[in-house]
Chains A and B, each alone.
Chain A
Amino acid sequence: MDQALAKNIRQSILRASHRSGHGHIPTCFSIVESLIATYRFMDQDPQNPAAPDRDMFVLSKGHASLAQYCTLAHLGYFEVAEVDRFGAHGSTFGCHPDRLKVPGVEVSTGSLGHGIGVAVGMALAARKQAAATQTRTRQVVTLIGDGEANEGSVWEAVMVAADQALDNLKIIYDANKSQIRCLQLPDPAARFAAFGCAVQSVDGHDVAALLTALNQPTDRPSVIVADTQKGYGCQTLVDEMFAWHRRSPDADELALLMDELDAR
């Protein structure tokens, strides 16, 4: 079921990118399974995305917004056809997400290194609310990119989360090797552990493994290092991830990429 959903989401990403002329497809493709696992993990209602007792997700690497839009659409938050106006003037769906426009988007992101800090504040707030009302502690999941982790603000946020022992914060680190040509972050699991987090490393394209990791109870912030591929699902995107970093397929390329998705 999850594999079929993942394929549907990837097909929607390709179609929306083709129709709009926008999109960071490889970075979207690397997080599809992480998004599916996150929404399976969270207590959220697509019909009432602002419910006060909901869990919350923050896409810190906001340039992968198209993946979040298509995931939300396939989960029933809105119609997938609405996403086709992605990036157009007057569209609800920008190339970076706007929380005031898109149901299910908690934080407007786009400048890297911001979403995770806000997520830390949300997790802190959720813990305070739970203590005050004697109710369950709402969970906060944030997804950051490995390139994004070049930003110092990411590590400030992680330090604060660990210092506050935010056991309701889950950080998915999308290790899609996007920064292999610049600032390297070898052994991210060891780094997050050194910063005081509970770290698990999983196959980032295995929804069940991601879900198991998200459900793992901890007494501190949880980091899931998701080993992923940019462009996962289409060999052309994997082989030429930098050329496709920000590019939309023409009709022939769309057909090729759709065929590659089908071939998996």
Chain B
Amino acid sequence: MRGKFKDIVTDLAENDPRVIVLLGDISVFQFRHFQERFPDRFHNMGICENALISVAAGLASQGYHPFVHTIAPFITDRSFEQIKLDMVYNDFGGNIVSCGASFDYAWDGATHHTYFDLAMLRMLPGAEVCQPGSEAELAALMPSQYANGKTTYFRLSDKPHDIDLGDDLAFGRGVVLKDVGAPMTVMTAGPMLAEVLPACQDLNVNLVYFHTLKPIDQAPVTRFADTEIVVVQDAFGLSEAIAGVRPGLRMAVLGVDRMDRFETCYGTHHDMRAALQLDTAALRARIPTAFQSAA
């Protein structure tokens, strides 16, 4: 997905001289052609996430459209106050593009696991939060949002799904993947769709997918509000977004939820999903009984 990000930004930069890339010494090789093509609009600024955000806010204050890119926990957890104040409170805006979502870097341990970012950034007034699960989704979201003056978070994943969601992808719009009139609806977001879609294949459930967590699309939540809703997530944020649509939803959460501990295991993202019972087989077994186990 990082390669797609580079392609999109390169295309945008061809037509928009206000596009600037600020890297935290990540994806530098990926952006080598961008650097050659636009040397004045490329800065590998260094491993200094606080400064990356503040400098981007300063650039945005003067009309530029900065893309800040580095590893997710460091640009979001460490620089949360810079994002909150310099970008959002000051209303300067800017684009934050992270890599290493959730357990993409499982082997690196808890310092590199990222599952607070979506929930944290979702709380910021006026901020936009995107969790594209595939390159096609990124291509649909980034060009429409990068220049709107807001603070927009694009959470890339190195482990995207490869499911074709069609051409009708648009920022802020959820995707109803399955509507069988079932009494239960599964809702998920981002790369987890790779596990959730096959898990739901033979279950009597409806399925809704989100690539935008803020603003959350209220229409599909409202449409299935009378069903039991099972949220499957590998990071905090989606369940809070859905719960905020309307009171009284009957909702159970599978995955990262009320997790009052660090996940200190290593391995791959597959290992982590298995450990959290978020792999396809586990989900297929857990979804039908989600309300029983939640109770």
Contact = CB atoms under 8 A, between A and B. Distances in A.
Interface in A141-169: 152-153, 156-157, 159-160, 163-164
Contact of B58 (A100, A108, A125): A125
B48 interface: yes
Interface in B137-173: none
Interface in B45-79: 45-46, 48, 50-51, 53-64, 66
Interface stretch (B83-91, B118-126, B186-194): B83-91
Contact of A107 (B20, B53, B81, B90): B90
Interface string B17-48: 10010000000000000000000110101101
Given A114-B82, A120-B51, A107 B89 contact: no
Interface string B201-217: 00000000000000000
B82 A107 contact: no
A118 B57 contact: yes
Contacts, number: 95
A99 B58 CA distance: 13
A99 B48 contact: no
Most central of B43, B66, B89 by chain A CB within 10 Å = B89
Nearest to A125: B62
Contacts of B43: 164
B58 A124 contact: yes
A120 B90 contact: no
B86 A117 contact: yes
A106 B43 CA distance: 24
Nearest to A58: B58
B54 A125 contact: no
B46 A124 contact: no
Nearest to A151: B50
Mostly, the A contact residues are: helix
Contact of B48 (A121, A124, A131, A159): A159
B55 A124 contact: yes
A126 B90 contact: no
A144 to B, nearest CB: 13
A132 interface: yes
A39 to B, nearest CB: 19
Contact of A159 (B20, B51, B61, B82): B51
B85 A121 contact: no
A111 interface: yes
A119 interface: yes
A123 B48 CA distance: 18
Contact of A160 (B45, B63, B85): B45
A127 to B, nearest CB: 10
Interface string B82-107: 10011001111000000000000000
A122 interface: yes
B85 A114 contact: yes
Contacts of B61: 106-107, 118, 121-122, 125
B49 to A, nearest CB: 8
A108 B90 contact: yes
Contact of A117 (B41, B58, B66): B58
B50 A156 contact: yes
A179 B28 CA distance: 40
A128 interface: yes
Interface of B: 17, 20, 40-41, 43, 45-46, 48, 50-51, 53-64, 66, 81-82, 85-86, 89-92
Interface of A: 99-100, 106-108, 110-111, 113-114, 116-126, 128-129, 131-132, 152-153, 156-157, 159-160, 163-164
Q: 5 closest A-B pairs (Cβ-Cβ)?
A: A121-B58, A117-B54, A125-B62, A121-B55, A156-B51
